[in-house]
């Protein structure tokens, strides 16, 4: 197991706590809204941020742990296909993730590198009552998650010597 694998596993375990935090935020929102007639302006956007963080890094965690879903009925019947199938899936994943990295970088760049007329930094905003810069940050987060996932896939493609 490489340092990258260990980091991805640690990150996945930490992001799992995001879903517990979403539950707490939603319980607070429902209590405030229906119990005290005082809805929040931040609960929805906060839960979206936490869920996005969890989902983006969840795939990275599954790759590091080796728990992605597999349809292995052909490989089970013909063990010689296992290496070919694994190589093909890693190559397809690398191509897809490279494209996704490029696209998410372009989106993040447009969302974050924005400046107002006065020259102040003004990232893309949600347009809601809270009007947080969450969309720009989520786009950057998607890029980071894709890049980490791509690094893990490329790491799996490197042949290892058995000691």
pLDDT digits (tens, 9 = 90+) for 62-75: 888 888 777 777 77
Residue 68: predicted pLDDT? 77
Confidence of residue 98 (pLDDT cuts 50, 70, 90): very high
How confident is the model over 107-158, as pLDDT tens digits? 999 988 888 888 888 888 888 878 888 888 899 999 999 999 999 999 988 8
Higher local confidence (pLDDT), 23 or 116? 23
pLDDT at 162: 66
Please give the pLDDT value at position 91: 93
Task: Report the interhelical angle of 43-65 vs 134-157 (nearest 10°).
Answer: 0
Burial 56-88 (b: 16+ CB within 10 A, else e): bbbbbbbbbeeeeeeeeeebeeeeeeeeebeee
| pTM exceeds cut of 0.85 | no
pLDDT of residue 31: 96
Phi-psi domain of 151 (left: phi exceeds 0; alpha: psi -120 through 50; beta: other) = alpha
- pLDDT > 90 in the chain, percent: 47
pLDDT at 115: 86
- Coil vs helix vs strand at 88: helix
Q: Give the Cα separation of 113 and 124 in Å (integer).
A: 9
**pLDDT at residue number 30:** 96
- The Cα 139–Cα 156 span in angstroms is 26
Residue 128 has a pLDDT of: 81
Place of tokens 């080796």: 66
Stretch 42-65: mean pLDDT, rounded? 89
Whether 63 contacts 149, CB under 8 Å: yes
39: helix, strand or coil: coil
């Amino acid at each position: 197991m490489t340092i990258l694998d260990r980091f991805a596993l640690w990150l996945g375990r930490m992001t799992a706590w995001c879903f517990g935090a979403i539950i707490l935020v939603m319980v607070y929102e429902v209590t405030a809204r229906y119990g005290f007639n005082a809805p929040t302006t931040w609960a929805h956007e906060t839960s979206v941020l936490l869920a996005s963080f969890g989902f983006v890094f969840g795939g990275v965690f599954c790759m590091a742990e080796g728990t992605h879903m597999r349809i292995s009925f052909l490989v089970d019947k013909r063990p010689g296909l296992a290496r070919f199938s694994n190589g093909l899936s890693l190559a397809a994943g690398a191509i897809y993730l490279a494209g996704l990295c490029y696209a998410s970088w372009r989106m993040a760049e447009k969302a974050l590198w924005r400046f107002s007329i006065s020259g102040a930094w003004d990232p893309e905003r949600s347009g809601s009552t809270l009007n947080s810069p969450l969309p720009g940050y989520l786009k950057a987060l998607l890029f980071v998650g894709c890049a980490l996932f791509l690094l893990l896939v490329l790491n799996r493609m490197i042949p290892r010597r058995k000691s």
